[in-house]
Amino acid sequence: MTLRDFLRLTRRRLGTIIASTLLGAAAAAGLLVLLPTHYTSQATAYVRVSVPKSASGSTDSNVYFNASQLAAQKVKAFVPLFTSESVAQAVITQLNLSVSPTELAADLSASNAANSLTINVTATGDSPERSRQIADAVVNQAAVQVRRLEGASSPVQVVMMAPASLSQVEKSPSPLKYMAAGVLAGLLLGYAFAFTRQHFDTRLRTAADITDRFEVPILAVLPQSKSIARTEAAADSDFQSAESVRKLRTNLRYANVDKQARVILVTSPLQGDGKSSVAANLAKVMAAAGDDVVLIDADLRRPSVADTYSLRGPLGLLQVLVGSVDIENTIRHGLSVLPAFETPPNPSELLGSDRMAELVRYLSRDRVVVLDAPPVLPVTDAVVLAHLADSVVVVASAGHTRAEQLDQTLEAIEHGEGAVAGVVLNRAASSRLARMRYGDAEYNYAYSQSEYARQGRPTPPSSTPRPQSHSEELSETRRMPVISSDDEEAFSHAAAQPVQRTVAARHPASHRLKRAESEDLL
């Protein structure tokens, strides 16, 4: 894992990491409350050997050497005496403690530093003053025991060198140590949980998540916006949404520079990814740019275009495919809609029929056809239609579509001889909190209208005219008229022509699927 990956993990899982850290601190605080508090003090004893003086008042150096050797031997022998039960009993009697000698002896410790004649005594009590009293009493009672064991005439003595009042009292458990350990443990557990979740969470949230796994172009990143869901992204009131849809239109035009796409199929891995809204908005902005556009609701299982444009049945795509109605009148400039109302028992067969191919071929002669196709993974309808399209646009829902689902979708379209122009990341979070967690959705160049106003700059003109009213908008969006009998000959002639399409280059499927970009299209 690189530093960039670590920072991205921290940014995306910051909430989990902070929650785990706070949980570790809370656990440490709970232990501090539940565990009893103890205080530890230390006193130091010194072992000395009295050296008698001669009649002349001088002392031989050999006598001092022998005394030091004796003291070094005795100090090691006296260490266990300080923690013995006999000394503990004497301390209990002196301080009037309500514990047993065994319990008090367990709270005592004694040690002798190498090449020294000192013994460090450590005592634990329920208060700082009590721990000091016990430490000093242990040294004094040990001196009494040594005098009793060695005899009154023995030159070896134990004396107080440093009382416990001179030492610093230590509190156990230490709040600082426990809190630091709790925070550190919570932080480590938080990162471990975040890394595990990041490893197994394959949901696609940003354009970088897609480009890191697939070599497929990102046509646009559409923000989570109600105007897109209502097919009103072309309105200037939502500048970010309008600019994102216009960018999709522009990138589609440059996806294949050799031949402009006349048939565009919009699909998604699963239902609910927003493909119908993307298809409707794409058709509207292309029509606003001056193209003759036909939006066909090819999702015969769950048609939604009619509801989007408030169209009423029953005549639609199904009736055209089964031949119950003819296409009449010439298509006028602007946006036309061929909705679907009824769900047939055999939608895949109808969409894969020659009649459907003839219809798409005829309509695409002098206009752009946008096919709102069903999702790829639940049904095969979109795969059946893929070979009819010059460009296939796959819509992925940010935070919902998984990498393996997009992988399977791209592979299915490729097997159906469809040319994937790119992926549209729909419903990308655009709030400031989301930008902190996942980074900016795109390239940091977009401004909202309020940002232009704050900078004293005029709002960029929209290439999409705002409709004057809802009725005027619907007047430009009409049901697909059918061709008259005079146009049957032209329709039949178009059916005899081979379908014009661009087939994507075939690549072996892998976890990091390598897809053909625009320059790889044949």
Q: What is the pLDDT of residue 433?
A: 53
φ and ψ at 423, to 5 degrees? Answer: -120, 140
The rounded distance, in Å, linking the Cα atoms of 192 and 182 is 15
Q: What is the pLDDT of residue 235?
A: 53
Cα 490 to chain center, whole Å? 55
Q: Residue 198 has what DSSP assignment?
A: H
Q: 376-391 burial, b for 16+ CB within 10 Å, e for fewer?
A: bbebbbbbbbbbbbbb
What pTM did the predictor assign? 0.62
* pLDDT per position as a tens digit, 352-407: 999 999 999 989 988 899 999 999 999 999 999 999 999 999 999 998 999 999 99
- Domains annotated for the chain, with CATH where assigned, are 36-51+62-172 (3.30.70.1130), 207-449 (3.40.50.300)
The rounded distance, in Å, linking the Cα atoms of 280 and 474 is 13
Mean pLDDT of 218-240: 74
How would residue 26 be classed by pLDDT, with cut points 50, 70 and 90?
very high
* pLDDT per position as a tens digit, 236-277: 556 788 888 999 999 998 877 777 889 999 999 999 999 999
The rounded distance, in Å, linking the Cα atoms of 437 and 60 is 82
Cα 469 to chain center, whole Å? 42
- The answer to whether the CB of 268 falls within 8 A of the CB of 275 is yes
